[in-house]
Amino acid sequence: MSYQVLARKWRPHAFREMVGQTHVLRALINALDNDRLHHAYLFTGTRGVGKTTIARIFAKSLNCEAGVSSTPCGVCGACREIDEGRFVDLIEVDAASRTKVEDTRDLLENVQYAPTRGRYKVYLIDEVHMLSTHSFNALLKTLEEPPPHVKFLLATTDPQRLPATILSRCLQFNLKRLPVDMIHQHLAHILEKEGIGSDAPALMQIARAADGSLRDALSLLDQSIAYGGGSVLESEVRAMLGTIEQGHVVELAEALAGGDAQAVLERIHSLAEQSPDFAGVLAELISLLHRVALAQVVPAAVDDSLGDRDAVLRLAGALSPEDVQLFYQIGLIGRRDFPLVPDPRSGLEMVLLRMLAFRPVDVRKPADVPYVALPEVHNGVQEPQSVAAAASARQVATPQARAAPATPLHKDVQVPQAQPQRAAAVDAAGTGLKSVPAVAAFSNEWATVVEALKLDGMARQLAANCTLSKRDGQTFFLALAPTHVSLRNKKLEDRLQQALTQYYGAPVNVVVEIGAPQAETPALLKEQRDLDRQQAAVQAISDDANVRALHETFNARVVPDSIQPV
């Protein structure tokens, strides 16, 4: 007997064998079991998700000799003939090859006659959107009021092309793309039954390449078995699909995390020796960033199906959540624009360099110059002397322009009446705070504490938009303005409580209340400080002798947005 491909061998013959699509199966099963059958059903969805398979099982349920039910026997003559594709009362039509109105009229001529063998005459029209306008008009009246022994099952991948008059006469069921995990599990089940060896990363690669289509996944599985000589291994599947090993993508992400442009270009150079699909490399990197973002929020949600869980968790600690989101967004935009690049390698290089170029700079780090300003010249071309003067203007600054950087705060900094001493923080019994001064005496003292806490992301936003209204023993009562009520949730409050406990070296309770803060929040104080420093830097630039000389000699002006206090 000749070999039967997996997509046909493992085609479901009953609703219970279907993979996914429970929202469709539930409606059909209830309709069959409760005898509430409509005369026309429309199944929509992308290729390989089960439209035709569900229609055939539905036809079998209607014509099973044991009676109409959602569980056809599968052994009677009608069930076997439908499975083998030779049941005379199941008329399958490929609308793509029969688009003419004459074909539709010939098809409908026999609608009035009773079924030959079965209980119902079932018309299964696949790719129904390919019918012509005249064919739809010919079908319309019959579809609306067919004889009681006729059922219409329509399937299409493009329901938008169907006339509204057709849609209104059908019960419509939209079949969804299958999730990667569901496809992966089904492939593993099939290989176990077939007795074929495989590894999980290989099946995950096939499941992802199938793009939601189970039929595509089974075709790729057939191809990988042939390619691997009877086994399905990750290295062979990657070679077959033209993808690269996950380790190369991880190394690329690590170079991005380190902000090392040279390392990024070296990784791309080493990848180029393998002649990869550079668009595919970018897609793999975007997928990795998604897993890193998951690891930062819910580490337990990261599985080890690709064998890179440890690397993902390591990257989650090396990258800030903001960087991950920025890299992900730039990657998506770069993938959208990839068809426009001169060559794929340069396109990937530019996307990665753009990630580094737009990565936010930590303004708290010391800088070599007190400000940055870009001069513009309007009268002619600059002479060499003007270039030198401009360089001098960027490098030389007056004492007024040198704004002193804020002293980095940490838990050992002594703040009058705000920062506790660790030695006095815990009482003899070790039960909690003992001699900690009231923190909410002044808003700038609470801001100092917030700055020193080891918090980031939304938890830091919560702390920065609160004021400390009072303290009762070990309990800190924080006031959060109603405009920031979205920051109030148990997870963020727990993170803030843990940070305060670590800061004071003793248990601390935090209670966040919604109400107008009685003092300025740390966020407002920081905004005011930044504004003051910006104004001071602008004034310093205006007073600088070198800048004035450039303006008087070359009619140059300073671009206001380019001034940055450091």
Alpha-carbon Rg for the chain in angstroms: 34
Q: How much is the pLDDT for 361?
A: 64
By DSSP bridging, strand 375-376 and strand 557-558 are: antiparallel
Contact yes or no for 20/182 (Cβ under 8 A): yes
Q: How much is the pLDDT for 53?
A: 94
The residue to which tokens 């199906």 are assigned: 305
DSSP-derived letter for residue 173 is E
- Separation of alpha carbons 508 and 211, rounded Å: 49
Q: How much is the pLDDT for 443?
A: 60
Contact yes or no for 398/540 (Cβ under 8 A): yes
CATH of domain 422-525: 3.30.300.150
**β strands within 95-234, DSSP E:** 121-126, 150-156, 171-174, 197-198, 231-232
- Separation of alpha carbons 563 and 545, rounded Å: 16
Count the neighbouring beta carbons within 10 Å of the beta carbon of residue 247: 11
Q: How much is the pLDDT for 413?
A: 33
CATH of domain 6-174: 3.40.50.300
By DSSP bridging, strand 509-514 and strand 121-126 are: unpaired
For 471, phi and psi rounded to 5 degrees? -140, 130
- Separation of alpha carbons 116 and 125, rounded Å: 19
Q: How much is the pLDDT for 303?
A: 80
Q: What are the DSSP calls for 475-486, one per residue?
A: EEEEEE-GGGGG
HEC profile for 55-103?
A: HHHHHHHHHCCCCCCCCCCCCCHHHHHHHCCCCCCEEEEECCCCCCHHH
Q: Where in the chain is the domain with CATH 1.20.272.10?
A: 246-357
Q: How much is the pLDDT for 511?
A: 92
The residues with which 74 forms a beta bridge, in sequence order, are none
- Separation of alpha carbons 80 and 98, rounded Å: 27
CATH of domain 246-357: 1.20.272.10
Residues near 508 by beta carbon (within 8 Å), at least 6 away in sequence? 432, 433, 474, 475, 476, 497, 500, 501
The residues with which 511 forms a beta bridge, in sequence order, are 477
- Separation of alpha carbons 89 and 124, rounded Å: 10
- Separation of alpha carbons 475 and 177, rounded Å: 51
What is this structure's pTM? 0.57
Q: Where in the chain is the domain with CATH 3.40.50.300?
A: 6-174
What CATH class is the domain 180-241?
Answer: mainly alpha
Q: What is the pLDDT along the chain (566 residues), one digit of tens a residue?
A: 578 899 999 999 999 999 989 999 999 999 999 999 999 999 999 999 999 999 999 999 999 999 999 999 999 999 999 999 899 999 999 888 877 888 888 888 888 889 998 999 999 999 999 988 888 888 888 888 899 999 999 999 999 999 999 999 999 999 999 998 999 999 999 999 999 999 888 998 899 889 899 999 999 999 999 999 989 998 899 888 877 778 889 999 999 998 999 999 999 998 888 888 899 899 989 999 999 999 999 888 888 777 778 889 999 988 999 999 999 999 999 999 999 999 999 999 999 999 999 887 654 444 443 444 444 444 444 433 433 343 343 343 333 333 333 333 333 333 333 334 333 333 433 444 433 444 434 567 788 889 889 888 888 899 999 998 888 888 888 998 888 888 888 888 999 999 998 888 889 999 999 888 778 889 888 888 888 889 888 888 888 888 888 878 888 888 877 888 87
Contact yes or no for 384/559 (Cβ under 8 A): no
Q: Tell me the one-letter amino acid at 145.
A: E
Q: Among residues 247, 255, 410, which one has the least CA distance to residue 319? A: 255
DSSP-derived letter for residue 157 is S
Q: To the nearest 10°, the Cα dihedral for 300, 301, 307, 310?
A: -40
Contact yes or no for 418/449 (Cβ under 8 A): yes
Q: Where in the chain is the domain with CATH 1.10.8.60?
A: 180-241
For 110, phi and psi rounded to 5 degrees? -95, 5
Q: Provide the sign of the torsion angle of the four alpha carbons 133, 135, 137, 140, taken in this order.
A: negative
